[in-house]
Amino acid sequence: MTANKASDNHTHDQVFDDDIRNIIDNEIKRQQENIILIASENFTSQEVIRTMGSVLTNKYAEGYPGFRYYEGCENMDSVEEIARQRANKLFGSNYCNVQPHSGVNANMAVFLSVLKCGDKILSMNLRDGGHLSHGHKQNFTGKYFEIHTYSLDPDTEMIDYGAIMKQAKIVKPNLIIAGASSYSRTIDFSKFREIADEVGSYFMADTAHIAGLMTSGLHPNSVGVADFTTATTHKTLRGPRGGMIIADKKYGGLIDKSVFPGIQGGPLMHIIAAKAVAYKEALEETFKDYSRRIIENSKTLCQNLKDEGFRIVSGGTDNHLFLVDLTSRGITGIEAADLLASVGLVLNYNVIPYDKLTPTITSGIRIGTPAVTTQGMGTAEMEKIGEYISTALKNMENQSVLSDIKTKVKKLAGEFPVYSNMNA
Ligand code: DSN
C-alpha cells in the first residue's frame, strides 16, 4: 500500500501563514525529492494527517473515557474508546493506554508505575543499539535509577541471552528491558521472560521500532510475554507521532495513573484520533503485505551493500533496518551520512557495537526501509539505491560521479511520489 492517493485533499492548502506555509512546502519538496532511509521515519497516510489537523486539538480531556476533569468530553470518550479497542485488537491485548505523547513518555510511565528512585534497570547498552530512555546518564533514567547494561556478543553482534542471564543473576534488576533503536535481529522475548522470572524482575519490551512488523506477525509478539510493551505509533506502525503502552489489564490502574496525572496532563485528542485511524489501517491485510515488503527490501538492500564489500553489523538483517560498519573504509559515520545526504540519500550516522568513536562521530550508518516501502519501491529499486550508496561512498571526492548520483536519486524519488497532490 502506498500512502499517496491522488484523490486525497490535504489541509496544507489551508495554511495561510506564509512563513509557515513556505516551510511546509519546502519540507514536502524535501521529502519527495530525496530518498528517506531513516529507519525510524515513515510517510503516514493523508487520512492520518487530516485527522491530526482536526478540531479535536481544541479539547481538554484530562482523565480517561467515562471519567474526565472537564465537561463536554463525550466525543473525546468515543474517540479514545475506539483507539483503545482497535489497539487491543491489533496487538492481541486486553489493556492499552494510548495517551503517551511519545515513546519516551510511554517508557517513563512504565518505569514510574513499578519502580522507585534508585531501583535497578538492566537494558541494552546504547552503543550496542539501546535507547536513551533505557538508561543514558543524561536521561532521567540515568539520573533516577541504577542502570546496568548488557552488551551484544562481540563475535556475532547479536544478543547473548546466556550472558544476560548470568548478568541478571548478579545485578538482580527490578526491571529488564528488551528492545532497541538499532538492532537488526529478531528479539526472543520468551528468553527475556525466562531471565526476568529467574531473577524476579519485571520485564518491559520497547517495541518502538518493530511494532508494525510485530502486529503483522513478522516478529514475535511481546504482548502476553512481557509485563509491559511500549511502542511508538509513527515508525513501522506508520501512524501519527506518538507513544502507547500495552499490558495485562491487572496493571491497567497503575499504568493509567502513571500516565495521567503521573507524567502528563491533557491528552492530545487529535493525535489519539489519528492513532485510531492508523490502527485501523494496520489491521488491514494490505498492511501485513506492506510489512513483509519492508523486510524484503531491507534484506535486499543489505545484501547488495554486502556484495559491494561493505561490512554489515551481525552480517545481515531480520527486520526493517541494518547497520553498515565503515571502519575498514577509513571514513566515519558522520562523514558518510553527510556525503549521502548531499546526493539525496537521507539516513543517520549511528554507533555500532563496541564502537571506538563517539555518538557524534560514529563508525557506522543506519539504513531503514519503512519509508521507501510506503512509497511503493521494491527490490529492483533497492538494488539501485544500493548501487547509489556504494558508488557515492567509493567516490567521495569525485564531484562528477556525485552529481550524476544526485540526478539519479532525484529521478528515482520522483517516480514514487508520496503525496501526489501536495506538490510545492
Ligand atoms: N531516536 C529514534 C530513532 O531514530 O531510532 C528513536 O527514539
- CATH number, domain containing residue 392: 3.90.1150.10
Mention every residue, 6+ apart, whose C-beta is less than 8 A from residue 133: 103, 104, 107, 108, 139, 140, 141, 206
Asked whether residue 344 falls in the same domain as residue 253, the answer is no
Residue 165 lies in a domain: yes
Alpha carbons 211 and 216: distance in angstroms, whole number = 8
CA-closest residue to ligand 1 atom 1: 181
By the 10 Å C-beta count (0-12 exposed, 13-18 middle, 19+ buried), 67 is classed as exposed
Same domain, 101 and 236: yes
Please check whether residues 85 and 175 belong to one and the same domain.
Answer: yes
Is any atom of ligand 1 closer than 6 Å to the C-beta of 97? no
Residue 83 and residue 200 in one domain: yes
Q: Give yes or no: residues 350 and 224 share one domain.
A: no
CA distance 153 to 188: 15
Looking at the 3D structure of the chain, how many domains does it have?
Answer: 2
Ramachandran category for residue 319: left, alpha or beta (phi over 0 → left; psi -120 to 50 → alpha): beta
Tell me how far apart the alpha carbons of residues 311 and 371 are, in angstroms, rounded to a whole number: 23
Shared domain for 265 and 310, answered yes or no, is no
Based on the domain organization, do 172 and 273 belong to the same domain?
yes
The answer to whether position 340 is within a domain reads: yes
CA nearest ligand 1 atom 6, residue: 181
Q: Domain of residue 387: give its range.
A: 287-414
Q: Verify whether ligand 1 is closer than 6 Å to residue 332 (CB atom).
A: no
For residues 237 and 95, state if they share a domain: yes
Is residue 232 within 6 Å of ligand 1 at its C-beta? Answer: no
Question: Is residue 58, in this structure, part of any structural domain at all?
Answer: yes
pLDDT tens-digit profile of 193-203?
999 999 999 99
The pLDDT tens digits for 328-370 are 999 999 999 999 999 999 999 999 999 999 999 999 999 999 9
Strands (E) in 169-215, as ranges, are: 175-178, 202-206
Do 253 and 362 lie in a common domain? no
Q: Which residue has the cell 552503543?
A: 127
> What confidence tens digit (pLDDT) does each residue in 241-289 have?
999 999 999 999 999 999 999 999 999 999 999 999 999 999 999 999 9
CATH of the domain at 187: 3.40.640.10
Name the grid cell of 61. 480531556
My answer on whether 410 and 303 are in the same domain is yes
Q: Which atom of ligand 1 lies closest to the CA of 348? A: 4
Query: pLDDT tens, 52-97?
Result: 999 999 999 999 999 999 999 999 999 999 999 999 999 999 999 9
Compute CA distances 8 → 1, 4, 218, whole Å.
Answer: 15, 8, 30
User: Does any domain span residue 73?
Assistant: yes
Closest C-alpha to 198, from 173, 228, 230: 173
Query: Where does a domain end: 253, 283, 313?
Result: 283
Residue 420 burial (CB < 10 Å; 0-12/13-18/19+)?
middle
